[in-house]
């Protein structure tokens, strides 16, 4: 690290380069007054440059990946990420990166070490089962490590990022698994069986809208327009290390409006009256689904309440998230357009909805084929041809030595 001179008027300054500011991306330089004598200023710049080089080299040699990520990278990420996303980052760093590379100095991490780590994670990286992690999980770990080392480069702690030269696994899609869903009669029977359950309104709304659990719990009364019979989805409630975090919906599609039917409005108004009696007042900005004390219901509590309710029936075992799949599956089977289903679920596109629920489509394809065949059958000649041929088809005797005439139409000549 070398210093250099800069002159302003009759005074000299020793300028020392100090790397790149990670927040602005601009280079940082320290200006030190060096007097009016050029030779003395050159000696000062050289000495300060040596000291800065020694300081930075010593910092490089001591700072490990664990120290860098815990002291610098993760705290900065916590300010910018949603709590659930940051929790995932922390778990990947703690479980998969630090046990293998944590004690390695930043400047000594190389591509071979990273590639060896990825091979290990793909074959035996699951600490619970001893099996390999999914390629998508290892790719997520690669993205985290690459981002952290990019920041180290920006701070001047390392010269290049070895993760950028490492071959990451591809994010292969897992095989499509059929979702566990109920039939219409099964869903109706379940909702009838839990009418006296405190969580019946939440189960009902989940089944009739396809909302995610986090969206259900994030809903407040002022998001429900009973006159327009519409619900606005804009906030979510999730649990991270059992602590509740509320935040806006992640994407534009997730923040949406859902039309409600009259029966659902009736269920919600009845629950609102019950909640008002419990709390002594109605808070328009309060959460819809709460404990008796008025505190928002914990996501784990709703999950477990649904499990207990299903266990008391003879119905196939599903989770509360499967109510979302049930809602979509029943709508698609009834011929509701995929675009409408996609909008209700908050999917990014109808194509994603089709890929997710393609297991429903084969039966619908058969129905479409039979429907079209019935249309043709309605116009068939019921007596048919006397030779047993289909109407409109006639036998033609062809000379095997004859050549087919070329079409005279100039538009089709090129394709003949």
Least confident of 27-41, 207-221, 326-340, 363-377: 363-377
25 lies in the same domain as 144: no
29 lies in the same domain as 117: no
- In the numeric block, which tokens belong to residue 2? 């070398």
- What does the alpha-carbon distance between residue 237 and residue 239 come to, in Å, rounded to a whole number? 7
79 lies in the same domain as 188: no
The answer to whether residue 53 sits within a structural domain is yes
Q: Which domain holds residue 276?
A: 184-359
Residue ending a domain, among 115, 137, 165, is 165
- What does the alpha-carbon distance between residue 232 and residue 220 come to, in Å, rounded to a whole number? 9
Over residues 144-184, the pLDDT tens digits come to 999 999 999 998 889 899 999 998 888 665 555 567 899 99
Span 56-79, average pLDDT: 80
160 lies in the same domain as 228: no
The answer to whether residue 311 sits within a structural domain is yes
Assign residue 325 the CATH number of its domain. Answer: 1.10.443.10
The answer to whether residue 391 sits within a structural domain is no
The answer to whether residue 412 sits within a structural domain is no
Please give the DSSP secondary-structure letter assigned to residue 197: S
The sign of the torsion formed by the CA atoms of 35, 37, 39, 40 equals negative
Q: Which one, of 58, 1, 2, 19, lies nearest residue 155 by Cα?
A: 19
The answer to whether residue 95 sits within a structural domain is yes
112 lies in the same domain as 233: no
Span 15-21, average pLDDT: 72
Over residues 71-113, the pLDDT tens digits come to 889 999 888 888 888 888 999 999 999 999 999 999 899 999 9
- The listed range with the strongest mean pLDDT (202-216, 236-250, 369-383, 399-413) is 202-216
98 lies in the same domain as 237: no
Burial of 260 (0-12, 13-18, 19+ CB in 10 A): buried
266 lies in the same domain as 310: yes
3-state secondary structure of 13: strand
Q: Which one, of 93, 99, 100, lies nearest residue 144 by Cα?
A: 93
The answer to whether residue 407 sits within a structural domain is no
Span 57-68, average pLDDT: 73
The answer to whether residue 273 sits within a structural domain is yes
Instruction: Decide: 245 and 298 in contact? Cβ < 8 Å.
Output: no
The answer to whether residue 170 sits within a structural domain is no
Span 118-141, average pLDDT: 87
Over residues 218-261, the pLDDT tens digits come to 999 999 999 999 999 999 998 877 788 888 866 677 789 999 99
**What's the domain count of the chain?**
3
Q: Which one, of 102, 107, 135, lies nearest residue 121 by Cα?
A: 135
Least confident of 202-206, 222-226, 351-355, 372-376: 372-376
* Global pTM value: 0.61
**According to the 3-state scheme, what is the secondary structure of 114-174?**
HHHHHHHHHHHCCCCCCCCCCHHHHHHHHHHHHHHHHHHHHCCCCCCCHHHHCCCCCCCCC
């Amino acid at each position: 690290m070398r210093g250099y001179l800069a002159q302003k008027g009759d005074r000299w300054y020793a300028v020392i380069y100090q790397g790149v500011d990670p927040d602005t991306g601009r280079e940082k330089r320290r200006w030190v007054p060096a007097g009016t004598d050029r030779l003395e200023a050159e000696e000062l710049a050289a000495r300060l440059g040596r000291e800065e080089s020694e300081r930075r080299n010593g910092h490089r040699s001591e700072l490990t990946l664990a120290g860098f990520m815990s002291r610098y990278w993760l705290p900065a990420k916590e300010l910018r990420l949603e709590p659930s996303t940051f929790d995932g980052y922390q778990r990947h760093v703690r479980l998969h990166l630090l046990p293998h590379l944590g004690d390695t100095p930043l400047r000594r991490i190389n591509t071979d070490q990273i590639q060896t780590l990825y091979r290990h994670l793909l074959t035996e990286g699951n600490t619970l089962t001893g099996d390999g992690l999914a390629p998508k999980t290892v790719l997520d770990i690669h993205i985290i490590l690459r981002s952290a080392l990019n920041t180290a480069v920006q701070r001047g702690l390392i010269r290049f990022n070895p993760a950028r030269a490492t071959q990451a696994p591809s994010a292969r899609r897992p095989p499509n698994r059929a979702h566990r869903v109920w039939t219409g009669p099964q869903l109706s029977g379940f909702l009838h069986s839990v009418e006296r359950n405190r969580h019946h309104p939440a189960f009902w709304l989940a089944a009739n809208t396809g909302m995610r659990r986090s969206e259900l719990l994030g809903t407040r009364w002022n998001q429900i327009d009973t006159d327009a019979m519409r619900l606005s989805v804009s906030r979510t409630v999730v649990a991270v290390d059992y602590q509740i975090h509320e935040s806006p919906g992640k994407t534009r599609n997730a923040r949406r409006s859902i039309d409600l039917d009259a029966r659902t409005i009736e269920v919600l108004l009845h629950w609102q009256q019950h909640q008002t009696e419990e709390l002594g007042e109605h808070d328009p900005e309060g959460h819809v689904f709460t404990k008796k004390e008025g505190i928002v219901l914990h996501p784990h509590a709703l999950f477990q309440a649904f499990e207990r309710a299903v266990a008391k029936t003879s119905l196939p075992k599903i989770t509360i998230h499967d109510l979302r799949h049930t809602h979509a599956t029943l709508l698609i089977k009834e011929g509701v357009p995929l675009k409408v289903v996609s909008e209700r679920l908050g999917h990014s596109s109808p194509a994603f909805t089709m890929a997710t629920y393609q297991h429903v489509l084969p039966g619908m394809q058969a129905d479409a084929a039979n429907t079209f065949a019935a249309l043709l059958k309605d116009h068939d000649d019921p007596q048919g041809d006397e030779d047993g041929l289909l109407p409109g088809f006639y036998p033609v005797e062809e000379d095997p030595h004859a050549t087919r005439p070329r079409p005279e139409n100039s538009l089709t000549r090129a394709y003949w």
